[in-house]
Chain A
Amino acid sequence: MTATQETSTEPAREIGRDRRRKEDQRLITGRTRWTDNITLPGMLHMAMVRSPFAHATITAIDTTEAAAAPNVVAVYTGKDLDESAGVLINAWPITPDQVTPAHPPLPTDRVSFAGEVVAVVVARSAAEARDAAELVDVDYEELPAALDLKEAAADTVLAHPDLGTNKSALWVFDSQEAGTGGDVEEAIAKARESGVVVEREFRQQRLIPAFMEPRSVVVDPTGEQMTMWSATQIPHIVRFALAATTGVPESKIRVIAPDVGGGFGGKLQVTPEEWMAWWVARQLMKPVKYTETRSESLMAAHHGRDQWQKITLAAEKDGTVTGLKVELLADLGSHVAIVGGGVPVLGAFMFNSIYKFPAYHFACQTVLTNKAWTDAYRGAGRPEATFAIERIMDELALELGREPLELREQNWIRHDEFPFTTVAGLEYDSGNYEEATRKAKESFGYDALRAEQQQRRESGDPVQLGIGISTFTEMCGLAPSRVLGSLDYGAGGWEHASVRMLATGKVEIVTGASAHGQGHETAFSQIVADRLGVPFEDVEVLHGDTQIASKGLDTYGSRSLVVGGEALVKATDKVIEKAKPIAAHLLEADVSDIEFSAGRFSVKGTDQGLAMAEVALATFAAHNLPDGVEPSLDSDATYDPINFNYPHGTHLCAMEVDTETGQVKMRKYTCVDDIGNVINPLIVAGQMHGGLAQGIAQALFEEAVYDDAGTLVSASFVDYLVPTAADLISFDVGHNSTPSLTNTLGTKGVGEAGTIASTPAVVNAVLDAIRQFGVTDITMPCTPERVWRAIQDGTAGAKDPTTGAAAAHFDPATDGAGQSNIADGTEGAGQ
């Protein structure tokens, strides 16, 4: 596939065009700068020794044999580290009294999850480092581990005995206290008397982001600035955190995120592996590299979700909702990660969703356990919220005997009510839930599928049909800095862009967003090509290197286009404004007579004009500029949004359930999303389809399972089931656009929408098919076994946690070869 189509002299409008992505050829062929592709002269390699225990005292570490192994340069343990090793920060203490365990890159005396790094071996080759890592002898004394979230919340076993509690922070929002609504207890009490109260508890299972490129880091300690290449989403934040914790001045640090193969939030982190590479390189004054294996990635890169959600919904008998109370337990894992406890807080404003609840209360208790630390995963907080509200709206409909879509419509914000301030205090700027729903129903064939469902039920078909609904909204485009500040987040939410006009008329644009697969290079080129009237091919997008993109807050929270794109628009407009007096001077006209359109500066009412490229060349030559005008068109802008933006959509899913085996099969998936104006429909389709796949995966396939000892069982892709295209159907993805009013492009975030919306649609559909057997709930993922048991036992079988061993395809204990087996318990499967 070629990256570009045709080059035209008079550029067509780029925005709205389905441009093939410029970056794909190099990304797909791998002939590019993935971090692991980087090799530096004299570079050393690191291998990690990881704890096989969830919780244990380190009584001794003997490194002598490893240190004596061929070509080993050094072996380090926690005791060797000094202050210059820094610490791993939590940037969002959600309450002033949050309990936050210290988080050095290596522990000295105690491990707190299985997979934690306890020693680092440095050797001349990666293979020698790995071999020697097997020779490090660590003595552990096992401690009881806090594994189950509810038990951990009761402090029965402590994840960090020195802290005296597992409870990290309790974060509360109450609409009455905030002045955004009424008293939820009153609403519930009233509903108990004369209305209806629905109380449910839902489980958000633990997930693993499972990005395609494992994490990798290279550090070069030589040169004026020390350089770290890292497969990260957040080069700017990594630079800041290194400076803040290792004592190296920020001006001496360069962080580069070269091409990065996916993240989904999983690379929004500061990691022990990065911090160790930094420290080791400085100790030895040699470049070092570390690339994790897939097993290490699954075990020790941060996980996502993992909550218990207790939801109480109050309504009147006619179905009008009157109050919503949300009580969460959120599993932090062993440490409070960089955003960590903030993830559920991002969901706090979204449980009320598109519905007009007059009273709302949200409380989240974050809890430390002896499992891998959790943090952002695609949607971060909002999928959890959407799941809970869309599940319980179905429960309310059932309770009242109402058609679930109608009940939703009765309660949602009507089109003519925007802008609307919600009970959580957010102002939704735009949307049209009626229209999205109408289109979705039509395209889905809602009525025909309902009829088929009825017919299958009546005929007792072994394959039953269920229909699931999710009318979601989300807040994204992180974020107004003031709002982040009011939530005690450690940074702002602005974004920066600059535009450099080159002498030849080509354009370099620099963005502080840090793409890792999203297609920024293409979409941003389209925006600038239109704005400056230059060909798409002439725009180069630079990012991800703090020396080039010196300012930025990186990519997450569906922010790059809606915040970064707006910064780019502003910088581009400044270029035009700077060019106008120069063009006027060259054209011997008055500035007020200069008009700019389609890449040309022209004098009003004449046929005189100059192309952008001509003005750029004249500015570069600087031979004939007006007095007092600097010889540069380059401009930059930093943009801080005034509000989040609020994509929404109606998602409808039909699932077939084989009642004899429990097998579930997707029959149809239709969504009509409002993501405002679309810059590139192909990229949007990619984000929607991929996002849906990830949300559906939570409903049906994925779960990080730990056993009773705290060992990750789903530690390879044999057992952690990431679906592929072969497991999904082609989704029917449509749009209904109401432009966002909070940015001039009118765009809304699309990166997380599919993931946020789809999970409850799928689970609602599965349940809709099997409620007839007495099933009231089913735990995710809806595996065939779970579905079958649910059908067998009514509600009883459906709530069991996943147990069992990993599949035994590569079981060391049973390898039939009769040869010495040197299995290292810390290194499960890995392909």
Chain B
Amino acid sequence: MIPTQFDYVAPGSVDEALAALAQHGDDAKVLAGGQSLLPVLRMRLNAPEVVIDLGKIDALREIRDEGDTITIGAMATYQSILDHTGIKGSLRLLHQAISEVADPQIRHRGTLGGALVHADPAGDCGAPTLALEADLVIQGPSGERTVAATDFFEDLFTTAVGDDELLTAIRFRKHDGWGSHYEKFVRVAHQWPIVSIAAAVKVDGGTISEARIGLVNMGSTALRASATEAALVGAQATAEGVAEACAKAADGTNPPSDLNGDADYRRHLATVLTKRAVLKAAGG
């Protein structure tokens, strides 16, 4: 399928990219790895007049280990994140979730920044970003600002990044000492999750002391299961111990219905999968 005609610019720096965005405004669309944007263009669901390719801005591809934090450039590909030993060691939840995104071809092109700005509630990356309480760095005409993950996802395909802004980096605090597990539920391997659960827990002497649970495809954005998080604190890290807390995983959610499942089935899945994810996170 053929997209409508558009002009193409490939700025060499973030400032140039912002200038291009300022110039073309609503008529422009930013291109990262293209793994969501290109299908949208090819299906003619969107017809920008200008495509601004961030691919030439090397600085955005950097992954920096800063001691207590790791900052991932918005244009770092899934694969480069998987290949980063610091992330594998200290951000296992993110690493595991990304390892289950689509297939190798897509992981070599798609970027974490693109995935987060695209904000597909069924995307794998939103939930671990929430559960790991990342900060998102946004640049616009009036400079740089940082938004907490909980404030980043606003609605279906909508984030805190304005039309004239760019996401430039995602900063994660290292989670050494946390257990984690990403539980993805699909019918076929190359599929977006029907539901998935990103769980990070801290366990002291068999008792859960802290828990962060991110939900995928349980509403119009990635979500945190706050009722479960709260109820898990103080729970024994056993099947019986976490059962009651995990039964609250779908509280307050409004999941979609589609060919893979109705909303009530997704709610049920969320509870079962949360229990599995928490136990695996707690037990290693």
Contact = CB atoms under 8 A, between A and B. Distances in A.
B143 to A, nearest CB: 23
Contacts of B192: 718, 807, 809
Given A701-B188, A810-B40, A818 B26 contact: yes
Interface string A661-683: 10100000000000000000000
B156 A807 contact: no
A804 B46 contact: no
A816 B157 contact: yes
Interface string B191-212: 1101000000000000000000
Interface string A98-140: 0000000000000000000000000000110011001000000
B188 A723 contact: yes
A809 B120 contact: yes
A805 B187 CA distance: 17
Contact of A823 (B27, B36, B45, B269): B45
Contacts of A726: 188-190
B39 A810 contact: yes
Interface string B227-265: 000000000000000000000000000001111111001
B261 A821 contact: no
A819 interface: yes
B189 A724 contact: yes
Given A816-B157, A830-B1, A721 B187 contact: yes
B259 A713 contact: yes
A784 B155 CA distance: 28
A454 B196 CA distance: 32
Nearest to B3: A127
Interface residues of A, number: 56
Given A804-B259, A829-B39, A819 B44 contact: no
Contact of A827 (B4, B43, B47): B43
Contacts of B156: 808, 811, 814, 816
Contacts of A705: 259
Given A660-B272, A822-B47, A788 B157 contact: no
Best-surrounded residue of B36, B185, B192, B261 (most CB of chain A within 10 A) = B261
Contacts of B29: 817, 819
A815 B29 CA distance: 12
A721 B273 contact: no
A810 B188 CA distance: 19
B260 A785 contact: yes
Contacts of B187: 700-701, 721, 783-784
Best-surrounded residue of B5, B42, B257 (most CB of chain A within 10 A) = B42
A60 B170 CA distance: 54
Contact of B262 (A713, A804, A807, A819): A804
Interface in A775-804: 783-785, 788-789, 802, 804
B40 A822 contact: no
Contact of A814 (B39, B157, B188, B190): B157
Contacts of B120: 808-809
A805 B258 contact: yes
B265 A812 contact: no
Contacts of B2: 126-127, 130
Contacts of B36: 809-810
Interface in A368-399: none
Given A721-B191, A724-B189, A822-B4, A806 B259 contact: yes
A828 interface: yes
A820 interface: yes
B48 interface: yes
Contacts, number: 139
Interface residues of B, number: 46
A466 to B, nearest CB: 18
A662 to B, nearest CB: 8
B64 interface: no
A293 B39 CA distance: 12
Contacts of A820: 47
Nearest to A126: B2
A809 B122 contact: yes
Grouping DSSP codes into helix (H, G, I), strand (E, B) and loop, the B interface class, with mixed when no group exceeds half, is loop
Contacts of A821: 45-47
Contact of A802 (B27, B194, B259): B259
Given A293-B1, A660-B272, A808-B256, A784 B46 contact: no
A461 interface: no
Nearest to A714: B259
Contacts of B27: 819
A230 interface: no
B163 interface: yes
Contacts of B185: 661, 663, 784
A295 B1 contact: yes
Interface in B135-165: 155-159, 163
B190 A724 contact: yes
A816 B44 contact: no
A727 interface: yes
A661 B267 CA distance: 11
Interface string B20-57: 00000011010000001001101111111000000000
A831 interface: yes
B268 interface: yes
Nearest to B37: A817
Nearest to A723: B188
Contacts of A785: 260-262, 265
A723 B188 CA distance: 6
B259 A830 contact: no
Contact of A131 (B5, B122, B155): B5
B188 A815 contact: no
A804 B45 contact: no
A824 interface: yes
A718 B36 CA distance: 12
Interface in A721-740: 721-724, 726-727
B97 interface: no
Nearest to A705: B259
A350 B83 CA distance: 55
Contact of B260 (A660, A661, A783, A819): A783
Best-surrounded residue of B48, B163, B192, B260 (most CB of chain A within 10 A) = B260
B271 to A, nearest CB: 9
Contacts of B72: none
B187 to A, nearest CB: 6
Interface string A700-713: 11010100000001
Nearest to B42: A830
A805 B36 CA distance: 19
A661 B259 contact: no
Contacts of A660: 272
Contact of A807 (B122, B272, B273): B122
A724 B256 CA distance: 26
A805 B269 CA distance: 19
A595 interface: no
Given A701-B187, A806-B259, A815 B1 contact: no
B258 A831 contact: no
Best-surrounded residue of B42, B159, B187, B190 (most CB of chain A within 10 A) = B187
Nearest to B265: A785
Given A727-B188, A824-B44, 18 more contacts: A127-B2, A661-B269, A724-B188, A726-B190, A783-B187, A804-B258, A804-B259, A804-B260, A807-B122, A808-B120, A808-B256, A815-B157, A816-B157, A818-B163, A819-B46, A821-B47, A829-B39, A829-B43
6 contacts: A703-B259, A723-B188, A727-B188, A808-B156, A809-B36, A810-B39
Closest 7 CB pairs of A and B: A816-B157, A726-B189, A816-B158, A812-B45, A293-B1, A785-B261, A830-B1
Interface of A: 126-127, 130-131, 134, 293-295, 660-661, 663, 700-701, 703, 705, 713-714, 718-719, 721-724, 726-727, 783-785, 788-789, 802, 804-812, 814-824, 827-831
Interface of B: 1-2, 4-5, 26-27, 29, 36, 39-40, 42-48, 119-120, 122, 155-159, 163, 185, 187-192, 194, 256-262, 265, 268-269, 272-273
